[in-house]
Amino acid sequence: MHRHRSIILVIGALIAAVVIARQVQAPSSPSQSDGPIAAGPGLVLDVLDGDTARIRMAGYEGSVRIVGIDTPEIEHPGKPAGCFGYEAAAAAKAWLQGRVVDVVPAREQRDHFGRLLARVVPHDGPIAGRDLARALALSGFARELPMAPNLDDAGPLADRVAIARRLGRGLWAACGFAAAFPGK
């Protein structure tokens, strides 16, 4: 009789657990939120080009545009690639793809495409602990792109671009400004 009662209690507990589980909503999956995003760690899901990656973090999953720089474009429908665009994208991919990064949203968090504007610092890999924008600028993969109100790092980024130019690194040796950034 005692064993029969234990089985009934276990079955009752399982039924109660199922009923309660159906009433509690599962946490929503992260999505591209329009609200403010807090700084924190994220996982780089994909590198889209030299200055844009898809990142998943608490409360957000979507495109993150690296603030303060501009890399040459890769080819898009109706828009040719800029000189050194694929090299910049390859560098960003090697430094970020599949890695955990710290994401620090900019003062103005969205661009006109709705992407999150942020600084990104990988936890491991070739540039572990270094800001991606600064690394791209110093390596000759990017130009500075100061845009108010996101000017916190404008001076150091401009300094790194000037060093890369002076030393003939990356796009500055391969093609120069006009070929890397046509029409800009």
Residue 2 lies in a domain: no
Residue 125 lies in a domain: yes
Residue 18 lies in a domain: no
pLDDT tens digits for 110-165? 999 999 999 999 999 999 999 999 999 999 999 999 999 999 999 999 999 999 99
Pairing of strands 143-144, 116-122: unpaired
pLDDT tens digits for 48-79? 999 999 999 999 999 999 999 999 999 988 88
DSSP 143-162: EE--BTTB-TTHHHHHHHHH
Q: pLDDT grade, residue 22 (50/70/90)?
A: very low
Into how many domains does the chain fold? 1
What whole-number distance in Å separates Cα of residue 69 and Cα of residue 92?
13
The CATH number covering residue 147 comes to 2.40.50.90
Q: Which domain holds residue 67?
A: 40-180
